[in-house]
Structure 1
Amino acid sequence: MTDPRGNLRLSTLADEMDVDAIHAYLSAESYWAKGVPREVVARSVQHSLCVGIFDGAAQVAFARAVTDRATFAYLADVYVLEAYRGRGLSRWMMETFDAHPELQGLRRWMLMTKDAHGLYARFGFKPLADASRAMERTRPGLYARPADPPPSRKGVLPTSIPASATSHIPASATSHIPDSATSHIPASATSHPEEAPHQS
């Protein structure tokens, strides 16, 4: 399908969707899915009815419907790249959903938006008639990157032991060590007690 307003092309074939491009936008630029992993985006595309708009080989717009294709659909991840906004691409994608043969006769459509109420109102969307009947379960921060753990100090030996660390040990605690226990240690190994060996 060719856009009569230019040379853009619209597709509903899942195999044509550019998962890398979609992930790049959702994870870095969207306000609703920032940080989403690529594998999550790939699964969402695979299991949704998708619409994409292309300028040559480059995907410039995307939307998907999560649907059972019988009674319900949820509109999600709608975006148009900034350079292509103002050309009616969101409207083109919505018209495509409305005309799609697998989305006819649905009892309910739903969506969430922060700033595009005017667009969706033109296609019959309106605020919930009774918000008290709707509930949600969310996981805020699900895609936030966990803080890096502190570097492990396992195997790192101290370079020196302060005298205060051993001042509480009575001399009697070491007086019973026989000479034979240390006779095999060469004098060079103890001539510089402040220079502990380093593990490699």
Structure 2
Amino acid sequence: MDITRILISSDPSLLDRDAIIRFLRQSYWANKRSDGLILKSLDGSVCFGAYYDNHQIGFARVVSDGATVYWLCDVFVDEAYRAQGVGKKLIETITTHNDYRNLFGILATRDAHGLYEQFGFVRDHGKTLTRMPDFLRKD
């Protein structure tokens, strides 16, 4: 694969919503989300797709107040295209984007720290608190 042929775009008309749903439903972080919830999250975010030969091979979602902070989430690269620079190109595009480059970026990952650290993200040791949504709680 020629990495220079990868298109990274935030044009919502290019998104393959079915492919995004399929991947997120198989991910460790979003596998309990309904299809409807996934689609609603896309509509409320700026979504970046990675495309090769008009086929979506990657995705990332950004949620922001547009002034101080953004949350980077639901990042994926299709397994067939991993370790070829697609993820790096996707994250570089987002972190250098005029809308986000001067905002505080937040993300959570279980296994991709090295990727994000290349773009200035730093591991937070104990300052962040999270709250699980009701539908995931086991009260």
Verify same fold: TM over 0.5: yes
**Are the aligned partners of 1:23 and 1:36 in contact in 2 as well (CA < 8 Å)?**
no
Is 1:114 matched with 2:110?
Answer: yes
**Are the aligned partners of 1:72 and 1:109 in contact in 2 as well (CA < 8 Å)?**
yes
Q: Pick from 33, 37, 43: which aligns with 2:34? A: 37
- 1:51 aligned residue: 48
Cα deviation, residue 140, structure 1: 7.6
- 1:128 aligned residue: 124
Cα deviation, residue 68, structure 1: 1.1
Q: Percent identity?
A: 35
Read off the aligned partner of 1:13 and give its amino acid letter.
Answer: D
Is 1:77 matched with 2:71?
Answer: no
Q: Pick from 75, 96, 101: which aligns with 2:98? A: 101
Cα separation, 1, equivalents of 2:74 and 2:60: 5
| SS of corresponding position for 1:65 | strand
**Are the aligned partners of 2:6 and 2:86 in contact in 1 as well (CA < 8 Å)?**
no
Q: Classify 1:98/1:4 alpha carbon distance in 2 versus 1 (closer, same or farther; 3 Å).
A: farther
Cα separation, 2, equivalents of 1:40 and 1:57: 26
For CA contacts below 8 A with separation 6 or more, give which structure has more relative contact order.
Answer: 2
Residue deviations 1:57-80 (CA, integer Å, cap 9, x gap): 321100111111110011100111
- 2:12 aligned residue: 14
Cα deviation, residue 39, structure 1: 1.5
Q: Classify 1:57/1:38 alpha carbon distance in 2 versus 1 (closer, same or farther; 3 Å).
A: farther
Cα deviation, residue 141, structure 1: 6.2
In the alignment, structure 2 segments of 5+ residues that lack a partner are none
Read off the aligned partner of 1:60 and give its amino acid letter.
Answer: I
Read off the aligned partner of 1:123 and give its amino acid letter.
Answer: F
Residue deviations 1:105-146 (CA, integer Å, cap 9, x gap): 21x2111111111111111111225x2x4221113863xxxx
Cα deviation, residue 4, structure 1: 5.8
| SS of corresponding position for 2:21 | helix
Cα deviation, residue 103, structure 1: 1.4
Give me the TM-score of the superposition, normalised by structure 2: 0.87
Cα separation, 2, equivalents of 1:76 and 1:14: 16
Give me the TM-score of the superposition, normalised by structure 1: 0.62
RMSD: 2.1
- 1:61 aligned residue: 58
Pick the structure with greater CA Rg. 1
Read off the aligned partner of 2:129 and give its amino acid letter.
Answer: M
